[in-house]
Every structure is written in structure tokens, then in C-alpha cells.
Amino acid sequence: MRPPVPIAEYLDRLTSELRFDPRLSRRVRREIEDHLLDVVADSTGTNPEDAARQAVARFGDPRLIARQYAPASLLQQTRRVGGIMILAIAAILILMKGRVALYDLLQWRLNSDWLGGLGAIAPMVDRYMFQMSLVLGILGWLYIASRRAAPTISDDYHHQLRRSLLLSVVVSGLLIGAVALDTMLGAMRPIGAGMPPLAAAIPLLSIAVEIGLVGVIAVELRKVLQRKALVSSLFADKA
């Protein structure tokens, strides 16, 4: 059964204010809807529409309610991205090590004539970019894991989240560069060794998985940056 119009309109406003966290928005909407309907049901002798208006008025401004949830929600989402990034980097490291072991086992050497002077530099740059992404990823995750949710989005809290997200952006950039170089080198190695397509499929498949993992990181990071912007707008009129 659809709730009375005042409650339905109130819940729609609340859902809009909580759009920075869709899962949280659905949960809070259900909880508040149940509470408001219980209040209306207990208001005997009062018109349901009037009772709904009174219940909504007593519950408070949806924007103020959303502000109470925003700091913890944004911190949780930032931590989630950091965790995904660490897991993705660990998986990419395993794939890279496994591919190198396969190359050594089957003696698939990189044809340096194809790359000229880059033949020696590119693998080294690839390795250092990945190592930097690993170190910065761990530091970023430890940093955001040590933060505590604030009661409101203060300037200090805003700077903490921004530093964490900036580290995540840098790590993503380094990781994208490392995977791009690894893709180029990995694709050239089986071609240069003259391997049959079936044998080359194993390392190329692992490279495709790496690209997919980087894509997941980019998508999740983009979501958090968009939601951070929504939270900032939620507090804009408070400044």
C-alpha cells in the first residue's frame, strides 16, 4: 500500500539527499517509512493526511538527516576503494610473477630488436611503476584505515578524504601505466618467439585479466569521486 502523500513526498526528498550512497538510501528510506507509518497508525481520531503531515514535520529536514549519515558513508566508500585497489594490485602481482615464470620456463625471450633502446628501459620502467603503485597503495590504505568518521564534514575531515582519494588517483595512474607497458611487452614476447596461438593465449589471457582489474579500480574510484562531490554539495549551504 502506498503511504500517504506527505510521507511519500518526504521519503522522495530524503532519497534524493542520500543519493551519494544508494544502498544506504534504500535502507534508511525503509526504516523511516516504517516509523512514519507506525506513527500515523497510532494517531487515532486524526485524519491520516493530517497525521502524516505532523509526523513528517516532527521528523525533521531530510537534508539535515542526510548530513548525519554522510561522513561515515563517505569514509566507508573510500576505504572500500582502497581495499579493492590492494586486492587488485596483489592479483596483478601474482599474474605478473606467474607470466614471468612461464616465460623463463619456456624460454620466450623479448626481441629487443623490435624496441631498439627501449628494450632494456621499458621492462625497468614497468617494474618501477608497479612497485610504486604497490607501495603507495598500501600507504593510502593504511592512511584511510586509520581515520575515524567525524560527526560532520569539517575542513580537516574533507582534507583527509581528499588526500586519500588523491593517493588512490596516483596509484591508479601508475597501475594503468604499468599494465599498459606490460600489455605491450607481453604481446610482443610470444610474437617474437614465434609461438603458436594456443600457447600464446595463456599469457595474453592473464594480461586481459590485469586490464579488467584496472578497469574495476577506475570505475570504483570514479564512483567515489562523484559521491564525494554529491556530499560536498549537501554541505554547500552550511559554509
> Using one digit for the tens of pLDDT, what is the confidence trace for 26-76?
999 999 999 999 988 887 777 888 889 999 999 889 999 999 999 999 999
pLDDT for 1 beyond 90:
no
Cell numbers linked to 175: 597501475
pLDDT band, residue 173 (cuts 50/70/90):
very high
pLDDT for 194 beyond 60:
no
What are the helix (H) ranges across 148-235?
Answer: 155-192, 197-234
pLDDT band, residue 22 (cuts 50/70/90):
very high
pLDDT for 90 beyond 80:
yes
- What confidence score (pLDDT) does residue 111 get? 57
- What confidence score (pLDDT) does residue 156 get? 87
pLDDT for 109 beyond 80:
no
Q: How many CB atoms lie within 10 A of CB 131?
A: 13
- Using a pLDDT cut of 90, give the percent of the chain over it: 44
Confidence (pTM): 0.80
Q: How far apart are CA 70 and CA 56, in angstroms?
A: 21
pLDDT band, residue 187 (cuts 50/70/90):
low
Q: What angle do CA 196, 202, 206 make, to 5 degrees?
A: 140
SS3 (DSSP) at 27? helix
Q: How far apart are CA 26 and CA 179, in angstroms?
A: 37
